[in-house]
Chains A and B, each alone.
Chain A
């Protein structure tokens, strides 16, 4: 298997209600092209949704735009790989100050504050770069199975 084709898409989208649906459609199309399975596509889609709604809810940026980059490829051992960068030019935040939620540790279930945990659970690698210029979430998803299995 020497399929070295990398497929790349870049998008700039307005921060409007349900814009994440357009984003996950782009991601899914690309992931399918590199042979990713449907459950894995569904997982990375749910991670992308959380990153997009965070940008819309928390970034408070003047330009009201989300900048996206998608890179699909095949690993040397034949697994599908999708990388996504989700960037806003908003206020930024300190991820080390966001406390992880613990379900069941209180009487009442926690209602908010799950987005980052959902992202981490659904992808193989998540990197957050945030500062005064805004926030970039970089996620990587691999398929479990090799394409020729």
Chain B
């Protein structure tokens, strides 16, 4: 019954796209955070979180994503989200995430807006 979150990363120059698969609960949020911090330590300042394969989230997981956004903002980098289900998008709006990170319908529009090389 476990639905442990899987994270994969695709680097594109000094930017990266982080793909999630599964439930963003506290463990899932921590997994995303540790991968994101690794990338930031490596100099990545533009990060897209593609949540295409994530269908459920909880408030604890999202609160960890807010911490990631804050860390990236401190480093004057940018984070964007894409491919959210309607309910996850609504939840992000309730929690005010939409005010601190941009949300795009698909990876192509996120990449274009953040100046990433076109999706391969």
Contacts and interface: CB of A to CB of B under 8 A. Distances in A.
A108 B62 CA distance: 15
A46 B87 contact: yes
Given A18-B1, A109-B99, A109-B100, A118 B59 contact: yes
Contacts of B66: 109-111
A21 B58 contact: no
A104 B99 contact: yes
Interface residues of B, number: 28
A49 B58 contact: yes
B94 A121 contact: yes
Contact of B94 (A53, A112, A118): A118
B91 interface: yes
Nearest to B62: A114
A84 interface: no
A112 B66 CA distance: 10
- Mostly, the A contact residues are helix
A99 to B, nearest CB: 15
Contact of B2 (A18, A42, A43, A115): A18
B57 A46 contact: yes
Nearest to B4: A18
A45 B88 CA distance: 11
A1 interface: no
B25 interface: yes
B31 interface: no
B60 A53 contact: yes
A22 interface: yes
A18 B4 CA distance: 10
A115 B69 CA distance: 20
Given A114-B94, A118-B59, A21 B23 contact: yes
B9 to A, nearest CB: 24
Nearest to B95: A114
A64 interface: no
Given A18-B23, A42-B87, A50 B58 contact: yes
Contacts of A45: 56, 87
Contacts of A49: 56, 58
A103 interface: yes
Given A114-B95, A121-B90, A108 B70 contact: yes
Interface of A: 18, 20-22, 24, 39, 42-43, 45-46, 49-50, 53, 101, 103-104, 108-112, 114-115, 117-118, 121-122
Closest 3 interchain pairs by CB? A103-B96, A111-B63, A42-B87
